[in-house]
Amino acid sequence: MALSLKQVRYFIATADAGQISQAAMALNVSQSAVTAAIKLLEDDVGVALFKRLPSGVALTAEGARFLQHARNIMAAVTAAQHAPLTEDPAISGTVRIGVSYTVAGYFLPRHYTRFARSYPRIRAELYELPRNAIESGLKDGTLDLAVMLVSNMQDKKRLAHETLIRSRRRLWLPVEHRLLGAETITLDDIAGEPYMMLTVDEANQTASRYWKPTGLRPNIVFKTSSVEAIRSLVADGMGITVMSDMVYRPWSLEGQRIELRNVVADIPTMDVGLAWNHTRPQAPATRTFHEFMSLSFGGAGNSA
């Protein structure tokens, strides 16, 4: 049977929700329809894409790899539906784009490449900057647009934003860790383990927002701005961490496996999106990049 877009869409919704029931609610379909679509998809690709757990589902290593392809498929379909059939030769110019570290490394490259090929007359200049510098640049006009973690934005009065994707935060563990066999995992369980804390893009500040209300504290044994360092240390059994699905890969650089589990806690998503100064009109090049990114994700992001 040929792979269908419905199967891909249901798969992405389930991966994002971590539960088939929640995915069905988001899609406004029955739970049995989601279950059947995923079963057919797994039959089509020939591997299990999810592990079934008492608390929901978690991606297998193969599922994590397929998720990247699935997102690309849906983005390409959306872009094809909305893209102009002829190129407008008048669209030219420069757009100055601020990007945060995580966005630059794990989200933007493939979209930047597609844009550059689609609009060769537009020069998209990328500037990797911390969140506060991006917000300052948007306000003083040295940046035209930003692709950043909009969930971290501070000045939401002068700056508008649109969410492109919401990436869940889940627990990363080494193979054979004792928590892998737990029916549910809570922050209380995690607090008793050596913990690797990411600091880049204010990840440590975000973590404090969901740890603090519980009265618990993670047992931090290492802080770093390097996602890859944490990936290697977790895989090597030196600790565990809670990080975004967007930066998750099932293998460390040394080829060691990293497992993924849901956490029963009120952990916010990491939201990637566009930000701009709504008091400044957008030039054609800026507006073109803005629309390209928005349409690549269905044009259904939440704007504010």
* 246 belongs to a structural domain: yes
pLDDT tier for residue 300 given thresholds of 50, 70 and 90: very low
* 304 belongs to a structural domain: no
Q: What is the mean pLDDT of residues 36-53?
A: 89
- What residues make up the domain containing 115? 88-166+271-296
Please tell me the distance from the alpha carbon of residue 170 to that of residue 192, in angstroms, as a whole number.
Answer: 17
* 98 belongs to a structural domain: yes
Task: State residue 143's pLDDT score.
Answer: 98
181-227 pLDDT, tens digit per residue, is: 898 999 999 999 999 999 999 999 999 999 999 999 999 999 999 99
Task: At 268, give phi and psi (nearest 5°).
Answer: -70, 155
Q: What is the mean pLDDT of residues 33-61?
A: 88
161 and 287 assigned to the same domain: yes
Q: Which domain CATH number covers 63?
A: 1.10.10.10
Contacts by 252-255, CB closer than 8 A, 24 or more apart:
253/228
pLDDT tier for residue 118 given thresholds of 50, 70 and 90: confident
* 243 belongs to a structural domain: yes
276 and 137 assigned to the same domain: yes
153 and 184 assigned to the same domain: no
Task: At 284, give phi and psi (nearest 5°).
Answer: -55, -40
* 35 belongs to a structural domain: yes
Q: Which domain CATH number covers 144?
A: 3.40.190.10
* 223 belongs to a structural domain: yes
* 303 belongs to a structural domain: no
